[in-house]
Copies of this chain bind each other. A is one copy, B any other.
Amino acid sequence: MLASGLKVFIVTAQKLSFTKAAAELYMTQPAVTKHIHKLEQNLGSKLFNRHGNKISLTPAGERLLQYAYRIESLYNQLYFDLSQLKNEQKGTLKIGSSTTITQYVLPGLLHKFSKRYPDIKISVMNGNTEKIEQAVLKNEIDIGLIEGQSKRSGIQYKTFLKDEIVLVGNPKMTIAEQPLDLETLKKYPLVIRESGSGTREVIAYHLQKAGYSFSDFNIIMEYGSTQGIKSYLRQAEALAFLSYQSVKEAVKRRDLCLIATKDFKVERFFNFIYPEGSQNKLVDLLLNFVHYNF
């Protein structure tokens, strides 16, 4: 029901290829070409630069894309609104979520949400915090889930889950009964996330505040995947600082064990983000659901 030209444009702008957009839309490349030409004619602006077999968005195309997302979202909200009038709950919600949340929190959340609202289709886009915030600002997604909060203007932040950076290790390891302090931790081999990871950033920040730096510790590896670190710890005798949300299942299964710390506690919050003043009923539905079920 979204004016078909706009849908074609959105997909083409995402794929930056008429041919690939055509495939995604189950139509032919000439049909896509014609839609874009017609849009360009109606709007009186070129939407794509054609450099031979590559295309890119013109400034006008960038503008149109944002409006197209907003219009698409309005149609989605409309369908949901009308379905509510019929005592149904049908709709489409576009979510973006940063890596850790996508892997460890969102699956459980969406499972419950979908059980409660089986007729609400969810589309999840993954990316780092920066990308998700951009996507919210561009109206590419209705709602985002990110770690931490950068308080950017135009975006509404809403905390929904407390996370904690915890120290974990192989359950077979012999660790002192009493909580570890940072001084003692120096003796143990430590694995940390790669440079650029949000988890690593927040650890570095708190270590610094406590008067330490990574170089004070016995860091045997930097690794670019939480999942990879967990696999490693199950085999090797090493410790790692990881997000509690990412290890709690493994801890429950006794694949990993939590190690109490004495002078190191890092809390952070996962946040919903959505455009300021958006008034999106589907977003409200999700926020309420999470509020009452988590």
Contact = CB atoms under 8 A, between A and B. Distances in A.
B64 A82 contact: yes
B82 A44 contact: yes
B45 A64 contact: no
A10 to B, nearest CB: 14
A60 interface: yes
The oligomer's copy count stands at 2
Contacts of A43: 1, 78-79, 82
Interface in A197-224: none
A74 interface: yes
A59 interface: yes
A63 interface: yes
A42 interface: yes
Contacts of A71: 71, 74-75
Q: With a 10 A CB-CB cut-off, give which of A2, A59, A60, A276 has the most chain B CB atoms.
A: A60
Contact of A67 (B3, B64, B77): B77
A277 interface: yes
Interface string A72-85: 00110111011001
B70 A74 contact: yes
Interface size class of A (residues with CB under 8 A): 20 to 34
Contacts of A3: 1-3
Interface string A85-96: 110000000000
A75 B86 CA distance: 29
A146 B82 CA distance: 32
Contacts of A75: 67, 71
Given A71-B71, A71-B75, A277-B277, 15 more contacts: A1-B3, A1-B42, A2-B3, A3-B3, A43-B78, A44-B86, A45-B82, A45-B86, A63-B78, A63-B82, A67-B74, A67-B75, A67-B81, A71-B74, A277-B278
Contacts of A82: 43-45, 60, 63-64
Contacts of A64: 78, 82
